[in-house]
Each structure stands twice: as C-alpha cells, then as structure tokens.
Amino acid sequence: MPRLFVVLAVVAMAAAGARAVPDTAEAQAPPAGIRLPVPQGQSWRAIQGYNGGTHTSLPERYALDLVREDGPTGGADVLAPAAGTLWFMHSPGSGNGCLSIRVDGSNGLIVQMCHIIARPFAADQRIDAGQVLGTVGHNGAVGNNGLAHIHLSMHRTPDYGVTRIPAPFALPDGLPLEGISMPADGTAGQYGCPGASCRGSFVSTNGAIAPAPPSSVAVPAASTPPAPAAPSVPLRSGVVARVAGAGDCANAREAPSLSGRIVKCLPDGTTVTVADGPVSADGRSWWKLDGLGWTAGDYLAGVSAPTPSLRAGGRAVVDAGQGDCLNVRETPGTESKVLTCLPSGARVAVAEGPREAGSLAWWRLDGHGWVAAMYLQPRDD
C-alpha cells in the first residue's frame, strides 16, 4: 500500500480542534478483540502479512491485506470492526480511502481500514460495532495498486498522528482478530498467504446494523464531500458519483434505456463509480455504474475525479528508490527469472494485470516483462 503521510492525521486533528477524549470512552470495559470489518459469515484471507511487501514501514509493519474467498472483494460491504469514535478519514473515494476508529476502552488503540470508499462521517462521530462504513474499492481504485483489498492495521499515537506506533493483532499492545491472537516474531510476510506462516481463512462474526444518524459535530473540510446539488466534477468513466435528486431511489437498469430491466433501485446518497458512458436514449444520458447497471445522469452528481491508477493500457513511472532499479521478470513472482532492471524514473506502458503471486500484485509492462505493482506510480499521460 502506498505510504500514508502522518500529516493527514495532523490536518484532521487541526480541523476538528485539539480534542479531549471523553473519560466515558476509557471507562468502558476493555474489548476482548476486534472482528473482521465485513459481514457475518464471509470468508477472507491475508495475501500480505506483517513485515512484507509494502508493510515494512514502521506505522504499517503489522498490517494485513485481506481479500474475500467466497465472493468478489471489490464492492463488498465494510463494517466497523469495533465500537468507538471516528478518528480520521479520507473524503469518500479519494486518496488511499482510509478510515480509522479510536476503539472504546482500549487505552487509545486505533484500528484503520484503507482502500475503501467510505460513507460521509463527522469528526468524533460515534461508531457502533458492525455499523456499515462503506464498500471496498474495486481494482485500481483508492490507492489499492490495482488489486481490490482491505488494508487492516492498528496503531497508537501520543501526538495526534505525528508518531504512529504499530500494534499487532495480539495482546498486550493490540487486540486479537476474530479471537485469533497473531503476535509478531519479526519474520517477513508473517501470516500472509501463500507462505509458511499463512494463517488460512478468517470467517467474520461481525453483524451489520443500521447506520447511525449524522452527528451534530461539524464535519472537517478534509472529510466533507462536495454537495450533490452542485457537482464540481463532470461525469466520466472512473468518477465517483452520488445518487441525488431521485426523491427516493434511482433505477439501475440492465440496458441504457427506460425499457431496460430494473436490477436495483439506488437510494439517494448512494456512492457509486462510473464505469462507462454516456449513452443517449429516451431523451436521457445514461451512465454505467460499476457492478450495478445503467442509470440516468439526471440522478447522478460527480463527487471526485478518479486518481491515477494502474490499469492495462495505462502508463506508469518506475519508483524503485533513488539510484536503484526495478527487476523485470519473465513471469509473476519473485522466484522468476530476471530479464532486465529498469531504473527509477523510467516511463513504461502497462500491458496486462494485475496477477497475484507471492502475496504481491504484478503487472506486465509492454515490451518488457512482469514487475511488482508496489514499485510503479500510475500516470494520466
């Protein structure tokens, strides 16, 4: 996962004011653990574990990258893994799609989920365990390096995010995940699959509840989506949009016309991603929504433009570190033969991917071979 700068947490704190955490939160009984941030019964596994791949920087050292085993990962509902208060979040559909919760009764432990498209929340808003937070971003969205997944981690901070101290999913520093204690032993890729320490499947015991009503606390500017009534982003493929103005819900249809079969009715406020369009029919402009169907543009308001993402047919720049180069391999995987080494700054064309191998996402470069996604920076040009 691309590194998250601690400045973000400082900005969020400044926007909300130097807040004192109510004593009542710490007076509650310590939680026994946290749950998977997905609906009850779903099966997930970690494709990247502690101290591996993009999890080598200090704040994310004990993170897990999770993908679903019994269904599609992209678009899956994301639920609060524990009760607490909103600590920080990116605007819906922007940045790395991170949202973090200060867990009740945990002496300041913060659980963070990234690469999700969150619903709008307010600073310090009360979050209930199992509350719906949003959905997992699809491949290539919200900084997921081309592969839909949930980046789950825990940390503490003594200075509102300037310093973040990672915590494993184990007592005494952290909390077990679904009753499973995963202490850190310092090995690379610990608990990631495939691998010698692969933990196997996690089955969620989390339960969805109705979303809490909006908080009366003013939302910081950094976390406030543009008002649907005055969209600032034109609709086009990749744009995150919000259903608005339908009065109740807007029909998503199998085909771009009023005669198309209705597959779903999207309530006002639903966050969606535009996948294709426009197509003109029946006097309306129709837009295809990722994983949903076609909806009339009259009921869609652009929220945020797509951030550059790795995709087949796109372009990227090699970022292997100053003075270093990136191994290009014959097939996906770190055991594959090295064909060449591309210097940092080299501009490349992405031909195919992503492919998962060795807990990493891999992309094939036009005229070269396969490289790990973590060393590519997408570009629009």
- For residue 166, count other CB atoms closer than 10 A to its CB: 20
pLDDT in tens, 12-36: 333 333 333 333 333 456 688 999 9
Non-local CB neighbours of 65 within 8 Å, separated by 6+ positions: 1, 46, 47, 48, 55, 149, 150, 151, 152, 192, 359
Calculate mean pLDDT across residues 232-248. Answer: 75
Residues 119 and 263 both lie in one domain:
no
Q: What is the CATH number of the domain that holds 18?
A: 2.70.70.10
Residues 287 and 336 both lie in one domain:
no
Give the model's confidence band at 306: pLDDT under 50 very low, under 70 low, under 90 confident, else very high: low
pLDDT at residue number 68: 93
Last residue of a domain, one of 150, 179, 203: 203
**Residues paired with 286 in a beta bridge:** 279, 296
Apex 35 CA angle, 30 and 37, nearest 5? 130
Helical spans, DSSP H, in 238-290: none
CA distance linking residue 80 with residue 339, whole number of Å = 44
Residues 69 and 39 both lie in one domain:
yes
- For residue 245, count other CB atoms closer than 10 A to its CB: 12
Last residue of a domain, one of 276, 304, 332: 304
Residues 59 and 97 both lie in one domain:
yes
pLDDT at residue 209 tops 90: no
pLDDT at residue 351 tops 90: yes
pLDDT at residue number 84: 94
Residues 159 and 190 both lie in one domain:
yes
Residues 40 and 71 both lie in one domain:
yes
DSSP H/E element including 317? strand 315-318
pLDDT in tens, 267-304: 877 888 888 889 998 888 899 998 889 999 888 888 77
Residues 127 and 250 both lie in one domain:
no
Residue 332 belongs to what domain range?
Answer: 315-379
- For residue 133, count other CB atoms closer than 10 A to its CB: 23
Q: What is the CATH number of the domain that holds 372?
A: 2.30.30.40
pLDDT at residue number 39: 92
Give the model's confidence band at 308: pLDDT under 50 very low, under 70 low, under 90 confident, else very high: low
Could you tell me if residue 96 is inside a domain? yes
pLDDT at residue number 345: 85
Residues 244 and 156 both lie in one domain:
no
Could you tell me if residue 310 is inside a domain? no
Residues 339 and 300 both lie in one domain:
no
Calculate mean pLDDT across residues 49-73. Answer: 87
Could you tell me if residue 1 is inside a domain? no
pLDDT over 70, % of the chain? 82
Could you tell me if residue 102 is inside a domain? yes
Residues 88 and 40 both lie in one domain:
yes
pLDDT at residue number 322: 67
pLDDT in tens, 169-207: 999 999 999 999 999 999 989 999 888 889 889 999 997
Give the model's confidence band at 139: pLDDT under 50 very low, under 70 low, under 90 confident, else very high: confident
Last residue of a domain, one of 203, 224, 254: 203
pLDDT at residue number 30: 63
Could you tell me if residue 229 is inside a domain? no
Could you tell me if residue 174 is inside a domain? yes
Could you tell me if residue 209 is inside a domain? no
Could you tell me if residue 251 is inside a domain? yes
Residues 139 and 165 both lie in one domain:
yes
pLDDT at residue number 211: 42
pLDDT at residue number 377: 81
pLDDT at residue number 229: 40
pLDDT at residue 82 tops 60: yes
Task: Report the mean per-residue pLDDT for the chain.
Answer: 81
Count: domains in the chain? 3
Residues 198 and 143 both lie in one domain:
yes
pLDDT over 90, % of the chain? 40
Least reliable range by pLDDT among 27-41, 127-141, 231-245: 231-245
pLDDT at residue 86 tops 90: yes
